[in-house]
């Protein structure tokens, strides 16, 4: 028994040694979180909000480099700060379209300028912008899965309340829920996803990973849960498909994942038309 278990464990460890297996697992792990969260981003029209938070990750990388913090912690901190800022401004009635445009692009520009002060990093800049899933280490993988499972746990725990508040803040209030708190849950989940997704698809394409699979799942689903699960499945398919495309045609992996997601969206949209 013991030796059998050990053998199986060592087989798994050997598998994890394979960078392709790690990349595949990273893509699937990420889609667990982006599926349900992406559904809320679509329902609540938070696409720009996701963009602003994701772009802030670049600034987070600079912060981590400057302070010798782990990259994940730096991006999580800055993404959280950005998400909280945007949510706070929205609550104060700022014009969101303009505000988000200013914040999203400023965060990106400031981040890029800040990173340029670290000469060694310049060459690897594109991995922060477009992801570097083929370089995911075992510890990266552990972080991705832990982060993704944390997001899933958070969303499952608040699911009923989140859905009610998304449908109507008044209905949520009348049921004794606090829509502001539910919004905070989404902000927290978004910051976590940004930190988790940076390595996989990169800062520029995180929002795409949230929106495209969820939008593709819309036409195939009859319930909110169906759409969230569909987004997980399509996100995972896009992740694995993009990985394959990248190997086959030697294309950058992050963008390849989004290309496959976009094709899946187009197919779903066509099916909806017929």
Partner 1 sequence: MTLIAADRITVELDGREVLENVTLNLAPGEIVTILGPNGSGKSTLLRALLGILPLAGGRIDRTSGLRIGYVPQRLAIDRTMPITVRRFLSLPVRATDQAAAAALERVGMAGQGSVQMTTLSGGQLQRVLLARALLGQPQVLMLDEPTQGLDQQGEAAFYRLIETVRTETGAAILMVSHDLHVVMAASDRVICLNGHICCEGTPRVVSTAPEYRALFGLGTQGALALYRHEHDHDHSHDDRQDHPHVHDHDHA
Out of 109, 142, 167, 269, name the contact with partner 1 by CB under 8 A. 167
First-residue to last-residue Cα distance in the chain: 55
268 contacts partner 1 (rule: CB under 8 A): no
Query: Given the complex with partner 1, which of 102 and 269 has the nearer CB atom?
Result: 269
CB-nearer residue toward partner 1: 25 or 42: 42
Neighbours of 75 (CB within 10 A): 31
Q: Longest Cα pair distance anywhere in the chain, in angstroms? A: 64
Residue ranges of alpha helices (H) inside the chain are 2-17, 19-43, 47-67, 71-91, 96-115, 125-130, 138-157, 159-167, 169-174, 179-201, 206-218, 224-249, 253-273
Minimum CB distance to partner 1, residue 207 (Å): 16
Q: In whole angstroms, what separates CA 100 from the centre of its chain?
A: 18
Taking CB under 8 A as the criterion, the residue among 26, 37, 42, 148 binding partner 1 is 42
Instruction: Indicate the angle between helix axes 179-201 and 206-218, nearest 10 degrees.
Output: 110
67: contact with partner 1 by CB under 8 A: no
Question: Least distance in Å: CB of 43 to partner 1?
Answer: 5
Q: Which of residues 194-233 bind partner 1 (CB under 8 A)?
A: 215, 218, 221-224, 226-227
Listed ranges 5-13, 42-50, 117-125, 236-244: which one lies at the site for partner 1 (CB under 8 A): 42-50
Q: Is residue 156 within the footprint of partner 1 (CB under 8 A)?
A: no
Task: State whether residue 260 is helix, strand or coil.
Answer: helix
Contacts to partner 1 by CB under 8 A: 42-45, 160-161, 163-164, 166-168, 170-175, 177, 215, 218, 221-224, 226-227
């Amino acid at each position: 028994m013991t030796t059998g278990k050990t053998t199986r464990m060592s087989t798994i460890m050997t598998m994890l040694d394979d960078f392709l297996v790690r990349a595949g697992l990273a893509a699937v792990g990420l889609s667990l979180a982006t599926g349900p969260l992406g559904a809320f981003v679509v329902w609540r029209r938070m696409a720009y909000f996701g963009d602003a938070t994701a772009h802030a990750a670049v600034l987070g990388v600079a912060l981590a480099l400057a302070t010798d913090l782990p990259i994940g912690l730096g991006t999580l901190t800055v993404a959280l700060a950005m998400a909280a800022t945007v949510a706070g401004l929205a609550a104060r009635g700022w014009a969101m379209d303009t505000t988000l445009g200013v914040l999203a692009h400023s965060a990106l520009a400031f981040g890029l300028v800040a990173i340029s002060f670290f000469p060694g990093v310049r060459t690897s800049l594109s991995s922060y912008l477009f992801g570097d899933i083929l370089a995911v280490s075992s510890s990266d993988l552990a972080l991705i899965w832990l982060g993704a499972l944390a997001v899933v746990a958070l969303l499952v725990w608040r699911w009923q309340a989140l859905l009610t508040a998304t449908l109507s803040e008044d209905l949520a209030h009348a049921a004794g829920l606090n829509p502001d708190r539910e919004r905070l849950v989404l902000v927290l989940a978004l910051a976590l996803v940004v930190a988790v997704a940076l390595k996989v698809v990169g800062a520029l394409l995180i929002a795409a990973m949230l929106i495209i699979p969820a939008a593709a799942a819309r036409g195939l689903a009859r319930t909110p849960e169906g759409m969230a699960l569909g987004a997980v499945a399509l996100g995972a398919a896009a992740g694995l498909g993009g990985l394959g495309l990248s190997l086959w045609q030697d294309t950058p992996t992050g963008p390849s994942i989004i290309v496959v997601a976009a094709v899946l969206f187009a197919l779903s949209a066509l099916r909806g038309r017929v």
